[in-house]
Amino acid sequence: MRIRVVLVSLVLVTCGVSAPARAVVSFGAVVPAPVSSVPASGVTYQITSSASVYSDVPGTGDLLAQQLRRSTGYPVPIASAPPADGISLRLTGAPGGDEAYQLDVTAAAITISANKPAGLFYGVQTLRQLLPPTADSPTVQPGPWQVPGGRIVDQPRYAYRGAMLDVARHFFPLSAVERYVDQIALYKINVLHLHLSDDQGWRIVIDSWPRLATYGGSTAVGGDPGGYYTKAQYQELVAYAAARSVTIIPEIDMPGHTNAALASYADLNCNGVAPPLYTGTDVGFSSLCVSKEITYTFVDQVLGELAAITPGPYLHLGGDEASSTSAADYKTFMNRVQPLAHGKTVIGWHDIVNATPLPSTVAQYWGTSTRNAAVAGAGRKVIMSPASRAYLDMKYNRRTPLGQTWAGVIEVRDAYGWDPATFLSGLPSSQVLGVEAPLWTETIRTGADIDYMAFPRLPALAELGWSPQSTHDWTAFKSRLAAQGPRWRVMGVNYYHSTQISWPAGS
């Protein structure tokens, strides 16, 4: 159904401002747009100091209760049974699949029902957006804490809804990556693809090849500090993400984008000579040595160690911009390494179709053209990440200080105004696995930089991945997006104030 959008005055309230007469958020302020949203006129539920949370999935209930305690100052205990006054998260079923949920708000209680834990988590994210923006504050704020009455029934359009963070060009500490997990999870994104290796740095410990991290991870673009994650840190991130219904997909790019590895181990080079470490931004100059058997031992051991600490179903093998590898060598290499994924399903940038992809291999389309016969005709699942629409590292316009322009400039309307099912000519909609928003970090150095490039475009792409095509309407979306501004301010998100959006005063 078409969602009726109302921009409510509540979103004008900013952190720390007392608002005893604060208005109630509208059902029409939720991003991504739900499948069905039916408000109950005149009905609200108010969270008070006596409210508690019950959950059939303890972790999700705990996260909600912890946030409410921080912002409201109320005790918000975890109840042992569905409370008479409070919030219940129940695995009692909902229309739809594993990620579907139903949210019911009456004057007496809030109930979120789902088939699986993921559905409960996504219902909670919708509930968060129906609370005042100050409910996401890290410190106690004044109430009241009202939620509009009614029912939302919701499920995703695509099973794969991703964001990618390049930690190879610039390294980001674990806390920054976990913060990004929190941000993407609010908009029901369920995959974080980590670009862990490139010419400028190697970011994960591999026990059988220790110099990859200690030497290959010592640099970053522009001579900035390098860094790497231990296996324990990576596993901490995997667990942190899983608690928020986000799957980590690690990428080791090959056979190109490999200078950090080549510099770490001379034997990986055809001439046996290690090149110097690299801190520039050019691409296409490096390649693993396709003719050496040690190359495949290296790949097998790296992927084996990574697969062992990655519970998710995918490994990403890169495969793009291998300009210094001949077409024949590229095909030989990619055909040989795909079976080395240790039981995981392979994802590759769409260049992988120039080899012989396994029937299960997923191609990630990053081109700017709407025509690519090799990708469209391969008969396989495709993740849509067209660089001219989905790359979060492109500038918003020529004047914005961060980002690149090789794929064009991408304002919010550009990021929102395309359909993943029809963008690539000749690709049947049934083969579209989902959408991913990559953020490459040649010009990105800090968490504030990540915020600036991801917001407000990331929620636009999240809506393309979650909401039915029938709800996609720019006028409605930009009003709902504007309602997120005060929430981001409370959360400390350094977002870009696009002139295409009428942001509430003070946000």
pLDDT digits (tens, 9 = 90+) for 388-441: 999 999 999 999 999 999 999 999 999 999 999 999 999 999 999 999 999 999
Q: What is the DSSP string of 116-169?
A: SHHHHHHHHHHHHHHS-GGGG-SS-----EEEEEEEEEE--S-SEEEEEEE-SS
191-195/247-251 β-pairing: parallel
Which uninterrupted H or E stretch holds 103?
strand 101-105
Provide the pLDDT confidence category of residue 22 given band limits of 50, 70 and 90. Answer: low
Q: Would you say residue 231 has pLDDT above 60?
A: yes
- Average pLDDT value for residue range 171-182: 98
Asked if 218 and 272 count as a contact pair (C-beta separation under 8 A), the reply is: no
Residues 6+ apart with CB under 8 A from 159: 99, 433, 434
Cite the residue boundaries of each domain of the chain with CATH code 3.30.379.10.
Answer: 34-154
CATH of 34-154, picked from 3.40.50.2300, 3.40.630.30, 2.60.40.420, 3.30.379.10, is: 3.30.379.10
Cite the residue boundaries of each domain of the chain with CATH code 3.20.20.80.
Answer: 160-467
- Average pLDDT value for residue range 196-201: 98
- Residue scoring higher pLDDT (3 or 23): 23
Average pLDDT of the residues of the chain: 95
Q: Please determine, looking at this structure, whether the domain spanning 160-467 carries the CATH number 3.30.70.260.
A: no
Tell me the C-alpha distance between 149 and 193, whole Å.
37
Share of the chain above pLDDT 70, in %: 96
Tell me the C-alpha distance between 236 and 55, whole Å.
24
Residues annotated catalytic, as ranges: 321
Tell me the C-alpha distance between 158 and 143, whole Å.
37
Give, in degrees to the nearest 5, the angle at Cα 183 between 473 and 160: 65
Q: Would you say residue 16 has pLDDT above 60?
A: no
